[in-house]
Structure 1
């Protein structure tokens, strides 16, 4: 099996490289991919402040250039048949540790960069309409561009230091985007929660990177891989395992895996375009890419793979259950993201060493397309319907039929129905788990396969529940439809006067208002492109660019399809027809409330994270105020007391000896001046 980091044979292609030349300037595709969104961020803040249309132009144009650079990188990688490195500001002299600070272009980075660029451009185009009335749109668009720069730096990096910079830049940008509407207390709380939870995991992530870099004597990723997979590094298995487990802690935080899963649903307080960006192809998917990049080291550590398999199995099942019970469809998509990211990571936990990280990365790309489509589609519908709760969106696609096709495609792909992109990537993950069990009978494989067979019907269940809500007709609509049907069987004679009498026609003001808020062309194109990529994206496995060997058991494919169908029909059967057609209506209010609160996850966050951090902060303030500053205040007070005591003991008359000393000094000065 040829991995994404390998080079397929393309003897028929012999296109020349496409270097970008300016006087004294040569930019590689990797450099252009990182620089373009960063420059778009700066220009958007500089030119776009107070000029919304200019800010939108800069943001969308930057997205187009970024997508063009990613396509250029694909052509260059395929035609050159080698990994290409590009310099940045390095190398930096740091003693014995070498910091080359290079960027890397290969098949892995090229494929993921295209997915990130497509989603980034779609989000920027959609945002021009979604935040049309927001006075802080320029700042938001600039934040999206900077977020893309951070993710693309992680994707293109060939250096651990640059990886850390991009990693932390995304964390800071997520805080800005989630808390964009800072006037709302909920948005501020969600932003701080995301920042604190991910920072806790990042402490271990930094330690893991330090272990890898110090052991290899360099931060160059290719050199780090060579050191830890051969020679002296291969004998230090315990140290490599410690580094991998530390990295997994940081990845669990950024990717919202157990026990850090609760911050991501709360991040729905940010604008929908921010949710689409964070969930689809940037921060939460970055951990999958990091493990894929370091896969040769990770695959050698059995304990690390078992830890990842256990965490992913627990997360994918638990978050799928929570997704089913959410009363807000946007939060349902958030819990779905947690589950789908766990599926990506589980693919890396069980993939054989010879197979490489292909299946996990392919599901990353697939998830980027259909999850961005679903978030933007729900965001579009929420603007028209006035909210994202199940009650607000009831019957939404019946009233706004232009959304029926995009949302249907998105939910079918998320469920894993053939022939959509989600089906291809999901079945490859299941096949990879089954192949790992057959090949080695390992515990990780059994954990992942069992969790997948539970998650598949759960995913179909919450997707069917959402679709039933979106397509539900209210009781009044059912009565009207039956009345029309009955009247169609009993035609009446109508005169020409009645047919053309328009006096009884009264326009509906709500329908007129909805027409005025109709989506514009850039946003519509964003949703349409994502829809078609979700439909045909699975064909990527048939191209020479990605070669995938199907290790798929037809019995498992049939089993998963039967489980999906059974779960979907079961939800449809229990959905009430009178109240929102929502299967969760059969549960009590207390159960629905428990689902919305994550079954105590938020309470655990307050007890284990928020309050300890607040207590630590208060202790640090008290230490600084009452101990460290006390020395400074004490020395000042002591000086003041000493001065007061000296003043009390002084007679306030000049001393005779002091007068004679002063006279002597003046005399010596006069003699010196005279003799000079």
Structure 2
């Protein structure tokens, strides 16, 4: 089997699984089982893809006779490369774990089959984005993921908060996608082709269509779409609200699919991005603000699931910052390697907290005190997931974060780009991440406080779920060994930077540990009820959205509706009344009534019509 055949199957198999699963929705557990088997098949294909992946470059395969739309050629290529194979493999692994967990977590849900089918379709869309070598296919996968995220977040649609979170995610990402679509259209129009290789060659070559300013503008529009999908500033507020969805949906969206898809797209366009200084500054500035701000908010959350959500916002900013600062020699692989690492440890953390929440009955920190004591695997999974999140050396998250920091440093000492800004933000974020990761560990491993003598039995998942968590834990610890395969082309990490980040991690962890007192370290950082409400509310961004965007738009819509109803429709009603009166008069004329009476009635009808128009206008 060739790498190109694997690419096609990795897109096709989840699509077929979604169709079959939905067809079996009347037998939900059978349907979910089919989706798990299909996910296992996809993972096996992804492993084969790792073996047959090209050692360098990218293989592409499209239609023999590409269709044309006007003067635009559409090759509709799929492709495979070493980093592509690695990303596809980690996506497939996370999907298997999520679906196995879903069969237990949503066992009593009457819409289990629909959820599993949506997960399969979501997977197909992500695989399409990963393997796409055509911007039309990229756009298709991008938009399907947006639609599926709406369905997954709003799965518990009987809850008003879940419906609102789904609407919010859909609207915010759709607004940002306006920029994404405009940028893609501009790149395609300049290249005369939707093929990625042609677009990159055209816009990174010496004869750039238009000017270098136009190139930066088009890349900036694409980046706006990426910022929306990845929940970066100023679009960051939708992702924590997405926690209203089931935990498996959170694990999928946050770990290896939608919020990370922008990293894949910009990595594919990297030869163009590296030449667009304006776009790089936009990306670097947004990610610098986001990674620090989201880390601060994570530290202040009263809900540990929302803590993980804000940590996702921060970690995605870290992987995108590698693209904003990388030089042409370094390339996009440090960002993709951090995507690989983040997919592993974040899916592990979300699934583990989902397990603990079943026992504790909530994801609030006050209810999760000691929840890690329910089982040794829960405690170990939580510990190593947080170590990777904090960037501890040698676990997968530590290795990937070191390469991002080195990338930012190389960008900082080079000419141009936001390297200095991003590097400073990264070092601050290391301290903050260690602080909130330590806080999460202290809360979960504190003495058991919720009293349920049957909690262990009631919350014990079946063997497949425990096996999935164990596999994710092991891969989180040893996943950095993927660097030995050469799938990611990254430069060696610096020993000095490792020592510095280890020192910063120690500072953050020590501050959180010393602030614990006899309870949650958060109480030392966020003391007043008002501060806690502000932190839980994302610093009021949701209120700002409603005040500055939603209310003006709704107000304008009401004005337009009034003008349409009372002014435009008034003329229509007046014309209808005039026609009715004229018809009545004509009918009377045919009955041979006196001409003088007919003339009077005509005059009366005209007066009525004129009066109606004047009253309507007022």
Q: 1:247 to 1:443 in 2, by over 3 A?
A: closer
Shift of the alpha carbon at 1:538?
Answer: 0.6
What residue ranges of structure 1 are gaps of 5+ in the alignment? 1-16, 20-26, 478-507, 654-676
Q: Is the 8 A contact 1:469 1:582 kept in 2?
A: no
Q: 1:513 to 1:205 in 2, by over 3 A?
A: same
Q: 1:644 to 1:332 in 2, by over 3 A?
A: same
Aligned pairs for 1:114-263 (under 5 A) are 114-233=89-208, 236-263=211-238
Give per-residue Cα distances to partners, 1:133-181, cap 9 Å, x unaligned: 1111111111111111111111111111111111111111111110111
The residue matched to 2:328 in structure 1 has which SS?
coil
Query: Per chain length, whose mean CA-contact separation is higher, i.e. which structure has more relative contact order (CA < 8 Å, sep 6+)?
Result: 1
Match of 1:537 in 2: 479
Shift of the alpha carbon at 1:399?
Answer: 3.7
Match of 2:12 in 1: 35
Shift of the alpha carbon at 1:235?
Answer: 6.9
Match of 1:50 in 2: 26
Q: Does 1:77 align with 2:53?
A: yes
Among 521, 535, 544, the residue aligned to 1:595: 535
Give per-residue Cα distances to partners, 1:482-531, cap 9 Å, x unaligned: xxxxxxxxxxxxxxxxxxxxxxxxxx9x3335404410122222211111
Q: Is the 8 A contact 1:316 1:343 kept in 2?
A: yes
Give per-residue Cα distances to partners, 1:110-153, cap 9 Å, x unaligned: 12111111111111111000101111111111111111111111
Q: 1:18 to 1:30 in 2, by over 3 A?
A: closer
Aligned pairs for 1:508-519 (under 5 A) are 510-512=452-454, 514-519=456-461
Shift of the alpha carbon at 1:54?
Answer: 1.3
Stretch moving more, 586-595 or 607-616: 607-616
Q: Is the 8 A contact 1:584 1:592 kept in 2?
A: no
Q: Does 1:451 align with 2:425?
A: yes
Match of 1:366 in 2: 341
Structure 1 or 2, whichever has the larger Rg, is 1
The residue matched to 1:182 in structure 2 has which SS?
coil
Shift of the alpha carbon at 1:260?
Answer: 0.5
Match of 1:575 in 2: 516
The residue matched to 1:599 in structure 2 has which SS?
helix
Match of 2:602 in 1: none
* Superposition TM-score, scaled by structure 1 size: 0.84
Q: Does 1:556 align with 2:497?
A: yes
Alpha-carbon distance between aligned partners in 1 of 2:82 and 2:377, rounded to the nearest angstrom:
37
Alpha-carbon distance between aligned partners in 2 of 1:541 and 1:387, rounded to the nearest angstrom:
38
The residue matched to 2:453 in structure 1 has which SS?
helix
Alpha-carbon distance between aligned partners in 1 of 2:297 and 2:580, rounded to the nearest angstrom:
65
Q: Does 1:383 align with 2:358?
A: yes
Stretch moving more, 217-226 or 616-625: 616-625
Alpha-carbon distance between aligned partners in 2 of 1:401 and 1:130, rounded to the nearest angstrom:
20
Alpha-carbon distance between aligned partners in 1 of 2:119 and 2:287, rounded to the nearest angstrom:
28
Shift of the alpha carbon at 1:614?
Answer: 3.0
CA RMSD of aligned residues (A): 2.2
Aligned pairs for 1:245-394 (under 5 A) are 245-394=220-369
Match of 1:93 in 2: 68
Q: Does 1:604 align with 2:532?
A: no
Alpha-carbon distance between aligned partners in 2 of 1:50 and 1:598, rounded to the nearest angstrom:
40
Shift of the alpha carbon at 1:86?
Answer: 3.1
Stretch moving more, 349-358 or 512-521: 512-521
Q: 1:436 to 1:231 in 2, by over 3 A?
A: closer
The residue matched to 2:308 in structure 1 has which SS?
helix
Give per-residue Cα distances to partners, 1:569-603, cap 9 Å, x unaligned: 121111121x4565458612221111001111111
Match of 2:467 in 1: 525
Match of 1:437 in 2: 412
* Superposition TM-score, scaled by structure 2 size: 0.91
Shift of the alpha carbon at 1:236?
Answer: 2.4
The residue matched to 1:78 in structure 2 has which SS?
coil
Shift of the alpha carbon at 1:630?
Answer: 5.9
How many residue pairs match? The answer is: 593
Alpha-carbon distance between aligned partners in 2 of 1:117 and 1:416, rounded to the nearest angstrom:
24
Q: Does 1:470 align with 2:411?
A: no
Q: Does 1:460 align with 2:402?
A: no
Alpha-carbon distance between aligned partners in 2 of 1:424 and 1:35, rounded to the nearest angstrom:
33
